[in-house]
Amino acid sequence: MDGKPPSIPLSASTTSPSDWKYISEGGATIVFSYQGSTDTRFDGTVLRLRKSAGNTQHFTPSSGPTTPGADDEEPDDPMIEFQQKIIARLIPEEYLVCMHVIHLERLWLEAFAQLHESERPSERRLADSIDLTRCKGVLATDLVGSEGCVVEIKSKGDPAAVDYCPLDLFSGTSERVTKATHGLWDSWMQSGGAVNNLRIFSDGKMLKPSDDDDVAKWARTTFGCSGTSELGLRDKFTAALLPILLDTPVFQRLGTLQRTLDTLDREGISKLRERAQMLHLGVSTDSVSPPPFDADPPEPVLKEWSSFIDTYVSSHDTRNHGTPEPSDLRYYLLAYLLSATFKDCSLMIRLSPESTQPVVKVIDLDTKSVRKIRNWEKLDQQILDAYRKVDVDARKRCVDGWSRLAADASQDGDVLR
Ligand SMILES: O=P(O)(O)O[C@@H]1[C@@H](OP(=O)(O)O)[C@H](OP(=O)(O)O)[C@H](O)[C@H](OP(=O)(O)O)[C@H]1OP(=O)(O)O
Ligand SMILES: Nc1ncnc2c1ncn2[C@@H]1O[C@H](COP(=O)(O)OP(=O)(O)OP(=O)(O)O)[C@@H](O)[C@H]1O
């Protein structure tokens, strides 16, 4: 599959639901790999379907095909345009995945959902299911495929991964990246592969630490070793990932984006929102022209994202982030949302034989909703309250390596970005 969309959008109905194999899912989408042989246009692709809350497993089949015209009215999945027009301005295209629209017919989708429901993890099945009302899905390049090893790292920390800090992963220093990789591996082992920030795919199948035979086969084919102890395997895994994590420029890029877009952090955004509200209510008069304040800010549209990126690229570094103006609230809100996207993304790393260049792709670069800001504020408060109860010496510290390196570099007159 290349970057150009097919001249006529493909329809999933030219394939059989059984041609697709369940790979994995996140909170918003569920992903299947094409394994059929009847329609070669789907070779090497995955189908990404949106989910909806609640389980419609016992749905009543619809009485006919999708209403004519409904397909045209449904907008394409916004993740496609957002990646092509916004994300691609910040992350080089070679690290992004090609995505196109694919048409879905109701009866086909129902048969598909029914066939694959039992392959999903039980806790996910309780929470949601394939959204049967959608007329469009997304067809993307298959990064897992059916052979070789692919490591998926979700950069965000998982509460279960106690020894893993995302800032270590993006630190650019061998010692800290090793620590992050060990933390990911240990939590993968301890959780029986249930932790969501490390997934290992071997020959197209998600590996579980308890599958001794599969792990042994994976170790043999990926690292050429057999009968290796658990710690020995962790070392092999780390040694394979380390040069990729240190030398592939996209890791530094992601670290920089996460850090710079989050310059005001959640607390800073909350304070700025408070100041803007006070001005709006006339309680405070510390600004000549009070900006409009919206307690429920609207979702940014693509045009607004685009002008945000213009401003970010041209002037983010020279802004005075120490004393932000209430009139800049919207800018910082968008910056914060985008930092959340980059913190929640995943990295797919194909471990290839030493001679070939490793393939690294960044996935899950969806927009975050402004509605989340309130939830995050509440969550932050809870974390802060819990943290205050922890003994000072026992508190875990996460240090941002690139910002330290950036500070050192700027002292030398060097520029990191
Ligand atoms: O809010 P968090 O920190 O729990 O993160 C959510 C993730 O949960 P996690 O803690 O990583 O298991 C959650 O991941 P899973 O559903 O666990 O795969 C999503 O990534 C969610 O993003 P979105 O709402 O689907 O865009 C993530 O939401 P946000 O990044 O939008 O907050
Ligand atoms: N192009 C792809 N090729 C192979 N596997 C993929 C691809 N895209 C996604 N996956 C798999 O499907 C999973 C779910 O995809 P993704 O993370 O984009 O979903 P999401 O619902 O948006 O996630 P989240 O809830 O974490 O925001 C991924 O974690 C990965 O294992």
pLDDT digits (tens, 9 = 90+) for 89-112: 999 999 999 999 999 999 999 999
53 alpha carbon – ligand 2 mean position (Å): 17
26 alpha carbon – ligand 2 mean position (Å): 6
Asked if 31 contacts 112 with a C-beta cutoff of 8 angstroms, the reply is no
31 alpha carbon – ligand 2 mean position (Å): 6
Residue 205 pLDDT exceeds 90 = yes
Q: How many domains does the chain have?
A: 1
CA 99 vs. chain centroid, Å, equals 15
Tell whether 366 is covered by a domain: no
Q: Is the CB of 370 under 6 A from ligand 1?
A: no
- The better pLDDT of the pair 362, 278 is held by 362
Asked if 388 contacts 154 with a C-beta cutoff of 8 angstroms, the reply is no
Q: Rounded to whole angstroms, how far apart are CA atoms 43 and 145?
A: 10
Determine which helix (DSSP H) or strand (DSSP E) holds 341, and give its type and residue range: helix 329-344
Residue 44 pLDDT exceeds 60 = yes
Q: Rounded to whole angstroms, how far apart are CA atoms 197 and 188?
A: 8
Q: Which of 31, 32, 138 to mutate to test the pocket of ligand 2 (most atoms within 8 A of CB)?
A: 31
Q: Which amino acid is present at 415?
A: V
Q: Rounded to whole angstroms, how far apart are CA atoms 159 and 150?
A: 23
Q: Is the CB of 363 under 6 A from ligand 2?
A: yes
Q: For residue 61, what are the domain limits? A: 10-141
Encode pLDDT of 272-317 as tens digits: 888 888 887 777 666 656 566 677 889 999 999 999 999 999 999 9
Q: Residue 180 corresponds to which tokens in the numbers above?
A: 């992050």
Tell whether 390 is covered by a domain: no
Q: What's the pLDDT band for 409 if we cut at 50, 70, 90?
A: very low
Phi/psi class of residue 359: alpha, beta or left (left: φ > 0; alpha: ψ in -120 to 50)?
Answer: beta
CA neighbor of 333 nearest in space, from 259, 262, 384, 278: 262
Q: Is the CB of 196 under 6 A from ligand 1?
A: yes
149 alpha carbon – ligand 2 mean position (Å): 16
Q: Is the CB of 156 under 6 A from ligand 1?
A: yes
Q: What's the pLDDT band for 3 if we cut at 50, 70, 90?
A: low
Which range has the worst mean pLDDT, 57-61, 96-100, 259-263, 340-344? 57-61
Phi/psi for 167 (5° steps) reads -65, -30
Q: Rounded to whole angstroms, how far apart are CA atoms 181 and 329?
A: 37
Question: How much is the CA Rg of the chain, to the nearest whole Å?
Answer: 23
Query: How confident is the model at residue 326, as a pLDDT?
Result: 87
Which residue CA neighbors atom 28 of ligand 1 most closely? 344
Tell whether 367 is covered by a domain: no
3-state secondary structure labels for all residues of 128-194? EEECCCCCEEEEEECCCCCCCEEEEEECCCCCCCCCCCHHHHCCCCHHHHHHHHHHHHHHHHHCCCC
Q: Rounded to whole angstroms, how far apart are CA atoms 43 and 261?
A: 37
Q: Is the CB of 337 under 6 A from ligand 1?
A: no
Tell whether 175 is covered by a domain: no
Which residue CA neighbors atom 5 of ligand 1 most closely? 344
351 alpha carbon – ligand 1 mean position (Å): 26
Which range has the worst mean pLDDT, 14-23, 49-58, 233-242, 276-285? 276-285
197 alpha carbon – ligand 1 mean position (Å): 11
- The better pLDDT of the pair 41, 228 is held by 41
> What b/e string do you get for 85-100 counting C-beta neighbours within 10 Å, with b at 16 or more?
ebbeebbeeebbbbbb
Q: Rounded to whole angstroms, how far apart are CA atoms 301 and 82?
A: 10
CA neighbor of 29 nearest in space, from 1, 51, 2: 51
- What atom of ligand 2 comes closest to residue 140's alpha carbon? 1
Q: Any idea which residue has 């070392």 for tokens?
A: 235
27 alpha carbon – ligand 1 mean position (Å): 6
Encode pLDDT of 367-399 as tens digits: 999 988 877 777 767 767 777 777 777 666 666
152 alpha carbon – ligand 2 mean position (Å): 9
Query: How confident is the model at residue 282, as a pLDDT?
Result: 72
309: Cβ–Cβ under 8 A, 6 or more apart, which residues? 86, 89, 90
Asked if 150 contacts 143 with a C-beta cutoff of 8 angstroms, the reply is yes
Tell whether 27 is covered by a domain: yes
Q: Is the CB of 27 under 6 A from ligand 1?
A: yes
371 alpha carbon – ligand 1 mean position (Å): 14
Which range has the worst mean pLDDT, 30-34, 169-173, 209-213, 370-374? 370-374
Q: Rounded to whole angstroms, how far apart are CA atoms 417 and 404?
A: 14
Q: Is the CB of 403 under 6 A from ligand 1?
A: no
**C-alpha to C-alpha distances, 135 to 57, 126, 366, nearest whole angstrom:** 18, 24, 19
DSSP 8-state assignment for residue 94: G
**Of the ranges 2-6, 48-52, 155-159, 170-174, the best mean pLDDT one:** 48-52
Percent over 70 (pLDDT), the chain: 83
> How much is the mean pLDDT over the chain?
86
Q: Any idea which residue has 């630490």 for tokens?
A: 209
Phi/psi for 281 (5° steps) reads -80, -5
Q: Rounded to whole angstroms, how far apart are CA atoms 250 and 91?
A: 7
Q: Which amino acid is present at 205?
A: K
Query: How confident is the model at residue 162, as a pLDDT?
Result: 78
Q: Is the CB of 26 under 6 A from ligand 2?
A: yes
DSSP state letters, 371-396: THHHHHHHHHHHHHHHHHTS-GGG--
Q: Is the CB of 133 under 6 A from ligand 1?
A: no
ipTM for the predicted complex comes to 0.94
Encode pLDDT of 208-221 as tens digits: 999 999 999 999 99
Which residue CA neighbors atom 31 of ligand 1 most closely? 368
356 alpha carbon – ligand 2 mean position (Å): 25
Q: Is the CB of 50 under 6 A from ligand 1?
A: no
CATH number of the domain bearing residue 30: 3.30.200.110
- The better pLDDT of the pair 71, 30 is held by 30
CA neighbor of 155 nearest in space, from 82, 252, 90: 252
Q: Is the CB of 366 under 6 A from ligand 1?
A: yes
Query: How confident is the model at residue 414, as a pLDDT?
Result: 31
Query: How confident is the model at residue 411, as a pLDDT?
Result: 41
Q: Rounded to whole angstroms, how far apart are CA atoms 248 and 399?
A: 21
Tell whether 116 is covered by a domain: yes
Tell whether 353 is covered by a domain: no
Tell whether 102 is covered by a domain: yes
Ligand nearest to the CA of 342: 1
Q: Is the CB of 27 under 6 A from ligand 2?
A: yes
